[in-house]
Structure 1
Amino acid sequence: MRRPPAGVWFITPGHSPGRFPAAYGCGADVILVDLEDSVPAGEKAEARRNAAGFFTAPGPAGSIRGVRISSPTTRDGILDLVAICGFPARPDVVLVSKVESARDIEVVAGALDEPGHLPYLYGLVETPRALQELPSIVRADRIAGVGFGTADYAAVAGSSKGWEAMLHARSALVACAAAAGIPAVDSPFYDLGDAEGLRRESERVKALGFAGKCCVHPDQLPAVAGVFTPAAEEVAAARAIVAAAEQAGGRIVRVDGQMVGPPMVRAARALLARVQARPVQEVTS
């Protein structure tokens, strides 16, 4: 089974094709062309036309390209799906905005799935209603992962976008995603001038269990990658845990002074599986 992409995601607006080359070369694990909120209403049709070229232009080998569409319950979302069906090259990832039911994912899958091409479908949770429906959303047949959108969530809830205000929603999202065995990717950090805040929030969401985070500006990528790319010492520790567990035949063992049981071994195996498709960050003193 294919492993859904996680790590660092980068979103570029579809109505600004001049930004596409920077997106191709930014080094993110997933690069998305946006047809939703970053595109003004009067430029949606142009963004859809530009997006067709986003998937055919040359770029780094192995890059995962995707698209963020409007909710399939809206006119724009329907037009987005129709446009994608006519693209000469199809997206690897489709991020579905404002998902509020499993049916939203099913509609997108029904429109885009075809023999030889099953895109990764991610549901973007951006409303309190979506949070209530999470147990069913994460069980949708074709869902590959979920994302979180703080800006829309805060607007609907009438709250701030701050860490404390968003903690419950983030925790619920990660818990439901983990129960379904799918990754969760966190919202962008919107204060472009606060590099320390970006790093701190990235560390916090990783600690909660998020598998990645979105970026909206190339300058944000190094900080987020530094958090979500496993360091060489983390990989070495995971290998030591797995090796010790295998040698002990599954019994609880001591590794570097810590007792290691089945949950730690599973976590170590999961980390090693992730790094197979991602580079390891060298740790410098």
Structure 2
Amino acid sequence: MRSWILIPAENDKAIAAAAGSGAGAIVIDLARPLAPGLQAAARMAASAWLRAHREQVVAERRFERWARIPGLDTADWREALGAAMEGSPHGIVLANCRGAEDIRQLASVLYEMEDRLGLAANITRIIPQLGSRPVDALAIGRLADDLHPRVSGLTWDAIGLARAIGARRLRGPGGRWSDPLAHVRAQVVLIAHARGIDAIEHPFRDVQDADTGRRVAETARADGFTGMVAVHPAQVPWINSAFAPLESELSEAFRIVAAFRADPDAPFLVVGDRRVERSELQRARRLLGED
């Protein structure tokens, strides 16, 4: 999935227009702090939208429906999750994820909710938003060996981490991420590819600066990210363009899939002039739309 658009759950107009955004995944954001009255209304709106679009999305496969919930250290994450699950989303983005234990706890609650709602077990996927705080950033590496099967992608929180460490900038000279943020970003890409799942870039929030936004998206794709978060529908076309596969990438993916289809038990194969590990097979299939 190339583009993921994050829609504030309290913004009725944005929610109504979300289906026409062109994004591969629409994420209704229930993690934003709101007054209690507004929070309850936002949950109702999110649940209603997810339910309303369930059947037509299943039939047409135009976009996936996700919800972002607060971290498990907050008082109302279960209420947000319950509202989202009433609409049987494709998955949950977990804000401020502290590590593997948070993912396991969320997965356990999801299993109970799926059973109660009559959904297939383990159908709801998880994408943790990592690195919001220094201690969480230091724990990311452990996910390489301890990642729950429900996790289908990883993303990260540049702004949260910058605030937590008192950083005065996100990027340094030449637009490069500052060192602490670059460290988190690199881990997200490496672990995602090591586990054969999506790596989703942090959003570019200056909606008015489309030129810089395009360069940021192109850089993310060049660095190995498989998709990027948008915060406005205007960003979706250039994210989709930046992450569109090249003909050479599609051709190589086809050769990799064909080679492993001919020798399905091989731990690695020589494709063209290079050795290809089995871990690359899933990425090739995803690129061809076969995942």
Who is 1:3 aligned against? none
Match of 1:53 among 41, 48, 52: 48
RMSD: 2.8
Given that 1:93 and 1:122 are in contact with CA atoms closer than 8 Å, whether structure 2 keeps it comes out as yes
- Kindly indicate whether residue 35 of structure 2 is the aligned counterpart of residue 41 of structure 1: yes
Secondary structure class of the residue paired with 1:48: helix
| Compared CA separation, residues 272 and 79, structure 1 to 2 (3 A) | closer
Q: CA deviation at 1:33?
A: 0.5
Who is 2:288 aligned against? 275
Match of 2:160 among 152, 159, 162: 152
Kindly provide the amino acid, as one letter, of the partner of residue 72 in structure 1.
L
Q: CA deviation at 1:120?
A: 0.6
Q: What CA distance in whole angstroms lies between the structure 2 residues aligned with 1:203 and 1:161?
A: 18
Kindly provide the amino acid, as one letter, of the partner of residue 57 in structure 1.
A
Q: What CA distance in whole angstroms lies between the structure 2 residues aligned with 1:266 and 1:143?
A: 16
Match of 1:13 among 8, 32, 52: 8
Q: What CA distance in whole angstroms lies between the structure 2 residues aligned with 1:109 and 1:78?
A: 12
Q: What CA distance in whole angstroms lies between the structure 1 residues aligned with 2:105 and 2:11?
A: 28
Q: CA deviation at 1:231?
A: 3.3
- Kindly indicate whether residue 127 of structure 2 is the aligned counterpart of residue 122 of structure 1: yes
Who is 1:281 aligned against? none
Mapping for residues 1-285 of structure 1, pairs under 5 Å:
6-37=1-32, 40-42=34-36, 43-58=38-53, 59-60=56-57, 61-62=60-61, 63-85=63-85, 87=86, 89-113=87-111, 114-115=114-115, 116-118=120-122, 119-125=124-130, 126-137=132-143, 139-141=146-148, 142-159=150-167, 160-162=169-171, 163-165=176-178, 166-239=181-254, 252=270, 259-262=273-276, 267=280, 270-276=283-289
TM-score, with structure 2 as normaliser = 0.80
Given that 1:70 and 1:80 are in contact with CA atoms closer than 8 Å, whether structure 2 keeps it comes out as yes
Q: CA deviation at 1:194?
A: 1.6
Q: What CA distance in whole angstroms lies between the structure 2 residues aligned with 1:277 and 1:26?
A: 24
Secondary structure class of the residue paired with 2:51: coil
- Structure 1: 5+ residue runs without aligned partners? 1-5, 279-285
| Compared CA separation, residues 267 and 98, structure 1 to 2 (3 A) | same
Q: CA deviation at 1:55?
A: 1.0
Q: What CA distance in whole angstroms lies between the structure 1 residues aligned with 2:143 and 2:280?
A: 25
| Compared CA separation, residues 137 and 45, structure 1 to 2 (3 A) | farther
- 213-222 or 116-125, larger mean C-alpha shift: 116-125
- Of all paired residues, the percent bearing the same amino acid is 26
Q: What CA distance in whole angstroms lies between the structure 1 residues aligned with 2:258 and 2:102?
A: 43
- Structure 2: 5+ residue runs without aligned partners? none
* 1:119-174 C-alpha deviation (Å, 9 max, x unpaired): 11111012222221113345232333211121111111222222331322211222
Kindly provide the amino acid, as one letter, of the partner of residue 109 in structure 2.
A
Q: What CA distance in whole angstroms lies between the structure 2 residues aligned with 1:107 and 1:244?
A: 39
Q: CA deviation at 1:208?
A: 2.2
Q: What CA distance in whole angstroms lies between the structure 2 residues aligned with 1:275 and 1:10?
A: 22
Secondary structure class of the residue paired with 1:71: coil
Q: CA deviation at 1:198?
A: 1.4
| Compared CA separation, residues 36 and 180, structure 1 to 2 (3 A) | same
Q: What CA distance in whole angstroms lies between the structure 1 residues aligned with 2:257 and 2:101?
A: 40
TM-score, with structure 1 as normaliser = 0.81
Secondary structure class of the residue paired with 2:250: helix
